[in-house]
Amino acid sequence: MTRDPAQDYFRGTAYPAFFHREQAPAWIASVAAALGRAAPDPARARWCEIGCGQGYAAAVLAAANPGMRLTGIDIDPGHIETARARAAAAGLENLDFICGDIRDPGLVAGEFDYIVTHGVLSWVGDAVRSAIADFIARHLAPMGIAAVHYMSEPGGAAFRAFHEVFRSVAHRPDPVAEGLRALSAMRDAGAGFFQLYPHAGPTLDKLLADPPAYVAHEYLNAVFRPLSFREVAGLFSAADLGWIGSATPIENIDAVSLPADAAQVIAPIREIALRETLKDMARNQALRYDLFARPAAPLDGPAHLDLLRRWSWRLLPGAPAPGGLVFQTRIGPVDGDARIFRPLLARLGEGPAGFAELERIQPFAGRPGLLNQALQTLLWSGAAHPVLPVGDPAPSARLNRHLLAERARDQAVPALACPALGSGLAFGVADLDALAAGRAERDLRQLTALKG
C-alpha cells in the first residue's frame, strides 16, 4: 500500500506523558447521561485510543478499571515499547498495545465501547483523518461513544501563524527553541498579530513552560489544520455517526459557557452545524472535544431521570469550601450562585451521595435539571466526580508505586490511578511527595489505593 509521508503524524521525538480526563469511560458516560444518552458500563467497557503515545493514559485507566479491556494504538515503535514496558512493570493484564498505521484495515479486530483520540485529528492529512473516522465507524459498538479532540475554528486559526514560524526553522538544530525565541521577540516588539489575537499571548506563555517535545509534536508536524465543527461532524456523519454533545461538560450549558447576548441570539437556532459554529464564534473556540455515537432515539423525561439517578458523586481533593464559586471559562470569569453551590458542596463534603439523594436538597427539589447542570459544572471545574464501585484496587496500587518510582527518576507523573473514580487524577508536588513517603492524608491514600 502506497503511503504519503505528508499524511503521517510527526515522529522521531517521544511524545510526553499526559492524562486527559475526558478519555475515561466514567467521564464520558456521566457526560452522556447528562445529555440524555445511555452509554456502556464503564466498569466492564472495551476501550481503544487512537494515537496513544507512550500509553500513559491507557495504563492509568487500565489500573483504575481492572474489569475493562483496553487497547492503545500508535504509529511510533518507541512509544509502544515504552507503553508495553510500563504495563508489564505494573502487571496490567487488561491492556494491549498495537504499533501500526490506522489506515491498515486489518490493524485490529472486534468492537469497542469507547474509542478516543486526542491531539491527532488536526495534525494529520485528509486521508488519515478519513481513516480515523472509518476505523471508528467499523469498530464502535452499537451503544458505544467516541470522544474526538481537535483544534477548532475560529480560535485555532490564529495558531497557523505559530505553525508557520516553527516549520520555517524546522531545519535548524533546535527548532523549538528557535521558534519560541522568534515568537517571543515578535510579542515583545508589539507585533500586530498579538494585538489582533489576544489569546495568542497566553498560549505562547504556556508553550514556553511546556516540555520542548510537546511543542515539537504540536507545531513541527507537516500538517497543522484547525477544523470547523461542520466539517468534523460531516466527516463522522458520512460514517453514520452523529454528534451528541461535548466531552467538555460546561460547553453543553449555554448559560455558563456563552456570553449572555450571544446566547440569546443562538437560543432559537436548532440546526446543529449552525448552532455549534456560532457558539464557537461566541467563545472564539480553539479546541473542541466532541462526542459521536450511532443514531438512537432520545430518552424521554422519566427515562433520562432514571439514568441520572444511577450515578453517585463525591468531592475531589482541593474542592472549594461551600459557597458561591467563580468559574474561569473561555469567556472569562462566571459567577456560580451560592444558593445553588453552597448546599451541594456542603452535602458532598460529608461524603459521596447519589443523584436521588441530592435531589432532596434545596434548591434542587423538583428541579433535577438544575442539579444535573450544577454537577456537570463541578465535574468540569475539577471539584466533583462520579464514583464507581471499587473492584480490585491492587492494579492501581502497583501502577501508582511504579509511577512514583518513575518520578524519583525525574520522569513526569501527570496523574495517578484512582479506582473509586474509574479514572486518574492530577496531584501537586506536595501531595506526590507525601504519597511517595507514605504520609499523605488518609483520603488521598484511599483514593490512590496507596494505603501503606
pLDDT mean values, one per 10 residues, the chain (452 residues): 53 90 98 98 96 97 98 96 97 97 95 98 96 97 98 97 98 97 98 96 97 96 97 96 97 94 96 98 97 94 97 95 86 90 96 97 95 98 94 95 96 97 97 95 95 70
- Domain presence at residue 299: no
3-state secondary structure of 213: helix
Domain identity same for 149 and 167: no
| Predicted pLDDT of residue 1 | 35
Instruction: Find, among 60, 61, 55, the residue nearest to 82 by Cα.
Output: 55
- Domain presence at residue 98: yes
Domain identity same for 134 and 256: yes
Domain identity same for 258 and 357: no
Give DSSP secondary structure letters for 273-319: HHHHHHHHHHHT--EEEEEEE---PPP-HHHHHHHHTT-EEEEPTTP
Model-level pTM? Answer: 0.96
Omega within 30 of 0 (cis) for the link into 154? yes
| Predicted pLDDT of residue 3 | 47
Domain identity same for 275 and 358: no
Domain identity same for 110 and 237: yes
| Domain final position from 237, 265, 293 | 293
Domain identity same for 149 and 279: yes
353-354: strand order across its sheet = 353-354, 312-315, 384-387
Domain identity same for 85 and 107: yes
The C-alpha atoms of residue 281 and residue 269 are separated, in whole angstroms, by 14
What the block records as the C-alpha cell of 141 is 459498538
What the block records as the C-alpha cell of 137 is 465507524
| Predicted pLDDT of residue 377 | 97
Domain housing 193:
155-219
| Predicted pLDDT of residue 210 | 96
Strand partners, 328: 333
CATH code: domain of residue 23: 3.40.50.150
- Domain presence at residue 287: yes
Domain identity same for 117 and 213: no
- Domain presence at residue 170: yes
The amino acid that residue 400 corresponds to is N
| Torsion on CA atoms 38, 42, 45, 51, rounded to nearest 10 | 100
Distances (CA, A) of 387 to 36, 64, 349, 395, 447: 19, 12, 14, 18, 11
| Domain final position from 197, 219, 241 | 219
Domain identity same for 288 and 191: no
| Domain final position from 387, 408, 424 | 387
- Domain presence at residue 92: yes
Domain identity same for 32 and 93: yes
Q: Going by C-beta distance under 8 Å and a sequence separation of 6 or more, which residues neighbour residue 117?
A: 49, 50, 51, 132, 146, 147, 148, 149
Angle of helix 56-64 versus helix 77-89 axis, rounded to 10: 30
Distances (CA, A) of 175 to 19, 125, 179, 217: 26, 22, 6, 12
140-151: strand order across its sheet = 95-99, 69-74, 46-50, 112-117, 140-151, 287-293, 242-246
Domain identity same for 278 and 420: no
The C-alpha atoms of residue 117 and residue 120 are separated, in whole angstroms, by 7
| Predicted pLDDT of residue 11 | 74
- Domain presence at residue 452: no
Phi–psi pair at 127, nearest 5 degrees: -65, -40
- Domain presence at residue 298: no
Distances (CA, A) of 450 to 14, 57, 85, 94, 440: 29, 19, 22, 21, 9
Give DSSP secondary structure letters for 237-254: HTTT-EEEEESSGGGG-H
| Predicted pLDDT of residue 436 | 96
How many CB atoms within 10 Å of residue 437?
9
Domain count, the chain: 4
At residue 62's C-alpha, the angle toward residues 85 and 93, to 5°, is 60
DSSP structural state of residue 152: B
Domain identity same for 167 and 67: no
